[in-house]
């Protein structure tokens, strides 16, 4: 076992340290159309998704601003925002990086760029269908499982297309050892396609739901895992690729990679019911959820120790690469959001934090701070490499980095304050209505921070397009 | 451990299925035949249609239907039970309480209050941040109202019946003319409250507080000048009370306090005992008395011991029997 592990480390070290450091000369067949497609997808939908978020935030601050425009009512804007962030911005960004590093880690070319482009197109069609159906009020009404059955099918097909392409790429690999990023990508796609189908109750096309309490249990099993089995593994895949490459070092420990990978799948899948601690569901299930939520410290810290020790003493190199800088910031957010998440599963903490803006803050630090920043990091890391030219503007990328970092930190601070005000006021017997003016100020600040995030998305999209298509920079080859 | 494609794909799927069996299938098996709770009943057709409108417009993102042991607000009289939800498909527990929990909303207000509230929530609740739903049109708003009135099931039905019973009485009284209406309103206030003056003196600070409370809670129906012509007025019948007709009608601080605290079931006047503490109710009552009725009994007879924070000497007040600087101390 030990010998095998050290062999693994040496092999990966060789693969990473020597061959892949500089931008390699590419085989003629490899033009990264798929990775480019997912970069543009991510950049474009980040603008739309963050705009919808900004719109929702504005409506909470000024409820009559779009009075009686039905398809822009808050209850429709919110699911559009959430689903676009999830499937439009973060996931495609992480896939863009995956479609770049998977062939390299497997020492082969992508099975089919054509199939890849088709998957990008189907993916975008799915997102358009998502926006149209949810805005028109066609929804299953279940948080994170809103899309109606035909759109569910499109989502599953999109994942299957990506899976087929990457699996056939795997079949032609010349690299016998599978690097940890490869594990995460396959696990993410397979597990998400499965939990998505399960969570959306696709065997019941009419409602996409179960009945009564079992529906709540299934919904939160899925609702939690759509992050833990999609965003987390894809983001960790990118992290495991970008950080060792950026610091030009082998991974600190493959034992930790193994523990981190399997413990994530085992532990994360148990904890969905921590959303239902104050609901009449079986107590043993709540106990499992709480214990495993605390147990999440293991998969999280194992991965972070592995990554941080790999980067130890080399922060200068991380700072020098805008992609690695985003990814590294994302790992710090991962630390905060996970520790916070474990604490929030405790019933005593939930008395204050449940049902209010604290949770919204938690969601933003997780999806924008952790997965979103790593998604942007992966995107900016691969962008010059797939364009064959340097990034159009490092300044704009840095600008986006700071806008996102300040924005998401600000969100967390103001939403946490608002949540504490709400939670404590309610425990003190104040009505929901009476607390509204007390949190108004924080809604205003949140919307202002939303402007920063949205503008950074516009800047990012411009940077992506200029880098890929109108790039005055010298060709790197 | 050698990570082969088989180990990764099949291994992670096997783990997933095992865990799904444990944390989804097993609880499904044990909870799927949940017995109905004692308040459970099935929804009528319009209520079910209204529920679809509730889902379409994402009401679930701001309203929970999940009363917890630690709650105080609307519906907190009854903690949610698993048997309440057995017909819910999907279940609409919600995850955020930007607006109040609606588990027991049925019968809290009469239908006309809800119609005004849906057309623009600020008409009935000036500080609300709920979107306006006028765009749904009257028919859909009626369906939505019937769904909301069914929340709480059998408990809601009892409350709705009570609303209808008192609405009939309130309507008769209103249609009998202002004098009869005011008499009817006063008669339903318990005797002890009717003869009770507002025990606190009128002060600029108290009026300022009353003004703020009025703006935040009352003005949507009763209007900025207390004539009952607030923006909700066209939707509400019997219409909101015009306070100016209360002059010389034996109105007292106690009557105002009681009606604000308790509401007038059957009319759109809700109770405010959950929203407002005692001082706020006295203050807004006196604000209405001073500015709209133009007649206040604040600090009148019979008098009790002054509250510790009361001003000692009001400007313009005639000298009273009380010593100006407090009682003489024994030597």
Residue A24, CA distances (Å) to A18, A19, A242, A378, A386 in order: 11, 8, 16, 18, 11
> Looking at the domain that runs over B45-159, which CATH code has it been given?
1.10.760.10
Cβ–Cβ gap B129/A427 under 8 Å: no
Residues A164, A118: contact at Cβ < 8 Å?
Answer: no
- pLDDT value of position B171: 97
Partners of residue B129 in chain A, C-beta under 8 Å: 59-61, 63, 436, 443
| Residue of B1, B82, B92 with shortest CB distance to A141 | B92
| Residue of A69, A211, A278 with shortest CB distance to B86 | A211
Q: Judge whether B88 is closer than 8 Å to chain A, CB to CB.
A: yes
User: What percent of chain A clears pLDDT 90, i.e. is strictly above it?
Assistant: 91
SS3 label, residue A163 = helix
Among candidates A143, A154, A166, A140, which has minimal Cα distance to A227? A143
Count Cβ neighbours within 10 Å for each residue of A148-159 and write b for 16 or more, e otherwise.
Answer: bbebbbbbbbbb
Tell me how far apart the alpha carbons of residues A322 and A459 are, in angstroms, rounded to a whole number: 15
Element (H, E) at A13: helix A2-14
Average pLDDT for chain A: 93
| Residue of B58, B88, B133 with shortest CB distance to A78 | B58
Looking at the predicted structure, is the pLDDT value of residue A18 above 80? no
Partners of residue B57 in chain A, C-beta under 8 Å: 73, 75-76, 137
Among candidates B169, B191, B190, which has minimal Cα distance to B180? B169
Question: pLDDT category, A9, cuts 50, 70, 90?
Answer: very low
Q: Judge whether B91 is closer than 8 Å to chain A, CB to CB.
A: yes
**What is the chain A residue with the closest CA to B72?**
A429
Count Cβ neighbours within 10 Å for each residue of A199-215 and write b for 16 or more, e otherwise.
Answer: bbbeeeeebbbbbbbbb
Cβ–Cβ gap B135/A70 under 8 Å: yes
At a CB cut-off of 8 Å and minimum separation 6, what does B308 contact? none
Q: What does residue A254 show for φ and ψ, rounded to 5 degrees?
A: -80, -25
Q: What would the mean pLDDT of A208-226 be, rounded to a whole number?
A: 95
Write the pLDDT tens digit of every residue in A170-188.
999 999 999 999 999 999 9
SS3 label, residue A111 = coil
| Residue of B4, B55, B96 with shortest CB distance to A356 | B96
Query: If chain B, 331 residues long, is cut into consecutive pieces of 10 residues, what is the mean pLDDT of each piece?
Result: 92 97 96 95 97 97 96 90 96 96 97 98 97 97 98 97 97 96 96 94 96 97 96 97 95 97 97 96 98 93 83 58 47 47
Tell me how far apart the alpha carbons of residues A10 and A12 are, in angstroms, rounded to a whole number: 5
Cβ–Cβ gap B61/A143 under 8 Å: yes
Residues A285, A269: contact at Cβ < 8 Å?
Answer: no
In angstroms, what separates the C-alpha of A215 from chain B's closest C-alpha? 6
Write the pLDDT tens digit of every residue in A136-161.
999 999 999 999 999 999 999 999 99
| Residue of A138, A213, A432 with shortest CB distance to B99 | A432
Tell me how far apart the alpha carbons of residues B242 and A255 are, in angstroms, rounded to a whole number: 77
Q: What would the mean pLDDT of A225-238 be, rounded to a whole number?
A: 97
Give the dihedral sign, CA A28/A29/A35/A41. positive
Write the pLDDT tens digit of every residue in B267-289.
999 999 999 999 999 999 999 99
- Picking from B13, B39, B56, B119 by the largest number of A CB atoms within 10 A of its own CB, the best residue to mutate is B56
Write the pLDDT tens digit of every residue in A363-418.
999 999 999 999 999 999 999 999 999 999 999 999 999 999 999 999 999 999 99
Tell me how far apart the alpha carbons of residues A368 and B108 are, in angstroms, rounded to a whole number: 40
Q: Judge whether B36 is closer than 8 Å to chain A, CB to CB.
A: no
Q: What residues does CATH 1.10.760.10 cover in chain B?
A: 45-159, 176-293
At a CB cut-off of 8 Å and minimum separation 6, what does A342 contact? A293, A294, A296, A297
Tell me how far apart the alpha carbons of residues B327 and B308 are, in angstroms, rounded to a whole number: 13
Cα A99–chain centre separation: 16
Q: Judge whether B304 is closer than 8 Å to chain A, CB to CB.
A: no
- Using CB atoms within 10 Å of the CB of residue B46, give its burial: 0 to 12 exposed, 13 to 18 middle, 19+ buried: middle
Q: With respect to CATH, is domain B176-293 assigned 1.10.760.10? A: yes
Q: Could you write out the three-class secondary structure of chain B?
A: CCCCHHHHHHHHHHHHHHHHHHHHHHHHHHHCCCCCCCCCCCCCHHHHHHHHHHHHCCHHHCCCCCCCCCCCCCCCCCCCCHHHCCCCCCCCCCCCCCCCCCCCCCCCCCHHHHHHHHHCHHHHCCCCCCCCCHHHHHHHHHHHHHHHHHCCHHHHHHHHHHHHHHHHHHHHHHHCCHHHHHHHHHHCCCHHHHCCCCCCCCCHHHHHHHHHHHHHHHHHHHCCCCCCCCCCHHHCCCCCCCHHHHCCCCCCHHHHHHHHHHCCCCCCCCCCCCCCCHHHHHHHHHHHHHHHHCCCCCCCCCCCCCCCCCCCCCCCCCCCCCCCCCCCCCC
Cβ–Cβ gap B61/A79 under 8 Å: yes
Tell me how far apart the alpha carbons of residues A256 and A251 are, in angstroms, rounded to a whole number: 10
SS3 label, residue A125 = helix
Cβ–Cβ gap B16/A351 under 8 Å: no
Q: Which domains does chain A have, with CATH numbers?
A: 2-20+33-468 (1.20.210.10)
Tokens for B81?
């039970």
Q: What would the mean pLDDT of A115-128 be, rounded to a whole number?
A: 98
Cβ–Cβ gap B16/A63 under 8 Å: no
Looking at the predicted structure, is the pLDDT value of residue A15 above 50? no
Q: What does residue A80 show for φ and ψ, rounded to 5 degrees?
A: -65, -45
- pLDDT value of position B314: 53
Question: pLDDT category, A445, cuts 50, 70, 90?
Answer: very high
Tokens for A89?
């911005």
Tell me how far apart the alpha carbons of residues A266 and A260 are, in angstroms, rounded to a whole number: 10
Cβ–Cβ gap A75/B64 under 8 Å: no
Looking at the predicted structure, is the pLDDT value of residue A6 above 50? no
Cβ–Cβ gap A281/B82 under 8 Å: yes
Q: What would the mean pLDDT of A316-328 be, rounded to a whole number?
A: 97
| Residue of A67, A426, A432 with shortest CB distance to B132 | A67
Residues A274, A345: contact at Cβ < 8 Å?
Answer: yes
User: What percent of chain A clears pLDDT 70, i.e. is strictly above it?
Assistant: 93
Write the pLDDT tens digit of every residue in A270-315.
999 999 999 999 999 999 999 999 999 999 999 999 999 999 999 9
Partners of residue A280 in chain B, C-beta under 8 Å: 80-82
* Contacting B residues, span 115-144, partner chain A, CB-CB under 8 Å: 120-122, 125, 127-136
SS3 label, residue A272 = helix
Lowest mean pLDDT among A66-70, A315-319, B154-158: A66-70
* Contacting B residues, span 206-235, partner chain A, CB-CB under 8 Å: 216
- pLDDT value of position B2: 86
Tell me how far apart the alpha carbons of residues B247 and B46 are, in angstroms, rounded to a whole number: 44
Write the pLDDT tens digit of every residue in B131-150.
999 999 999 999 999 999 99
Cβ–Cβ gap A207/B28 under 8 Å: no
| Residue of A178, A273, A433 with shortest CB distance to B127 | A433
Q: How many CB atoms lie within 10 A of CB B301?
A: 6
Cβ–Cβ gap B93/A279 under 8 Å: yes
In angstroms, what separates the C-alpha of A323 from chain B's closest C-alpha? 27
Q: Judge whether B158 is closer than 8 Å to chain A, CB to CB.
A: no
């Amino acid at each position: 076992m030990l010998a095998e592990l050290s062999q693994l480390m040496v092999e990966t070290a060789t693969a990473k340290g020597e061959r892949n450091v500089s931008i390699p000369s590419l085989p003629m067949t490899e033009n990264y159309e798929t990775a480019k497609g997912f970069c543009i997808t991510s950049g474009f939908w980040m603008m739309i998704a963050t705009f919808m978020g900004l719109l929702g935030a504005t409506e909470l601050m000024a409820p009559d601003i779009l009075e009686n425009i039905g398809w822009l009512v808050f209850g429709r804007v919110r699911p559009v925002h959430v689903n676009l962030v999830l499937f439009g911005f973060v996931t495609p960004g992480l896939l863009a990086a995956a479609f770049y590093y998977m062939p390299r880690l497997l020492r082969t070319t992508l099975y089919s760029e054509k199939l890849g482009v088709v998957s990008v197109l189907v993916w975008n069609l799915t997102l358009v269908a998502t926006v149209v159906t949810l805005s028109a009020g066609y929804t299953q009404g279940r948080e994170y499982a809103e899309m109606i059955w035909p759109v569910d099918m499109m989502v599953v097909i999109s994942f299957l297309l990506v899976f087929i392409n990457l699996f056939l790429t795997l079949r032609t690999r010349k690299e016998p050892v599978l690097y940890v990023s490869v594990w995460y990508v396959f696990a993410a796609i397979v597990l998400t396609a499965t939990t998505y189908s399960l969570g959306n109750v696709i065997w019941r096309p009419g409602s996409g739901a179960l009945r009564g309490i079992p529906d709540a249990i299934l919904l939160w099993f899925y609702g939690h895992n759509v992050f833990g089995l999609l965003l987390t593994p894809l983001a960790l895949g990118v992290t495991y690729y970008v950080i060792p490459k950026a610091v030009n070092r082998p991974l600190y420990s493959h034992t930790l990679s193994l523990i981190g990978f399997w413990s994530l799948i085992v532990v994360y899948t148990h904890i969905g019911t921590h959303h239902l601690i104050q609901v009449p569901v079986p107590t043993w299930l709540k106990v499992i959820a709480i214990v495993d939520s605390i147990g999440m410290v293991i998969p999280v810290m194992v991965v972070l120790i592995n990554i941080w020790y790999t980067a130890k003493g080399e922060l200068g190199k991380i700072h020098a690469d805008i992609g690695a800088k985003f990814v590294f910031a994302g790992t710090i957010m991962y630390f905060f959001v996970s520790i916070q998440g474990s604490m929030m599963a405790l019933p005593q903490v939930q008395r204050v934090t449940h049902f209010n803006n604290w949770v919204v803050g938690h969601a933003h630090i997780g999806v924008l701070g952790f997965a979103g920043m790593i998604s942007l990091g992966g995107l900016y890391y691969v962008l010059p490499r797939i364009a064959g030219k340097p990034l159009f503007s490092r300044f704009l990328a840095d600008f986006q980095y700071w806008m996102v970092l300040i924005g998401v930190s600000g969100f967390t601070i103001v939403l946490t304050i608002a949540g504490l005000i709400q939670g404590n006021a309610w425990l003190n017997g104040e009505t929901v209505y009476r607390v509204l003016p007390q949190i108004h100020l924080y809604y205003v600040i949140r919307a202002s921070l939303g402007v920063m995030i949205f503008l950074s998305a516009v800047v990012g999209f411009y940077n992506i397009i200029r880098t890929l298509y109108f790039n005055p920079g010298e060709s790197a080859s | 451990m050698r990570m082969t494609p088989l180990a990764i794909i099949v291994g992670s799927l096997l783990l997933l299925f095992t865990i799904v069996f444990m944390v989804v299938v097993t609880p499904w098996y044990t909870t799927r035949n949940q017995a109905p709770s004692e308040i459970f009943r099935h929804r009528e057709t319009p209520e079910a249609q209204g529920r679809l409108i509730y889902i379409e417009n994402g009401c679930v993102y701001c309203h929970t239907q999940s009363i917890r042991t630690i709650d105080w607000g609307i519906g907190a009289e009854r903690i949610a039970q698993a048997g309440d939800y057995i017909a819910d498909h999907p279940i609409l527990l919600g995850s955020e309480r930007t607006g109040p929990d609606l588990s027991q909303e049925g019968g809290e207000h009469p239908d006309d209050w809800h119609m005004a509230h849906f057309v623009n929530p600020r008409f009935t609740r000036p500080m609300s941040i709920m979107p306006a739903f006028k765009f749904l049109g009257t028919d859909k708003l009626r369906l939505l109202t019937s769904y909301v009135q069914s929340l709480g099931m059998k408990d809601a039905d009892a409350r709705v019946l009570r609303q209808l019973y008192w609405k009939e009485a309130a309507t008769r009284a209103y249609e009998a003319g202002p004098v009869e209406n005011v008499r009817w309103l006063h008669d339903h206030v318990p005797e002890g409250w009717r003869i009770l003056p507002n025990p606190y003196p009128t002060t600029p600070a108290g009026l300022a507080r009353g003004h703020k409370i009025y703006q935040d809670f009352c003005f949507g129906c009763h209007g900025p000048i207390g004539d009952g012509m607030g923006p909700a007025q066209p939707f509400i019948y019997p219409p909101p009370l015009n306070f100016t007709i209360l002059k010389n009608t034996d109105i007292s601080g106690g009557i105002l306090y009681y009606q604000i605290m308790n509401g007038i079931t059957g009319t759109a006047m809700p109770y405010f005992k959950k929203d407002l503490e005692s001082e706020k109710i006295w203050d807004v009552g006196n604000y209405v008395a001073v500015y709209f009725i133009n007649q206040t009994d604040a600090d009148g007879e019979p008098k009790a011991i002054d509250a510790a924070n009361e001003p000692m000497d009001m400007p313009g007040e005639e000298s009273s029997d009380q010593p100006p600087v407090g009682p003489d101390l024994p030597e």
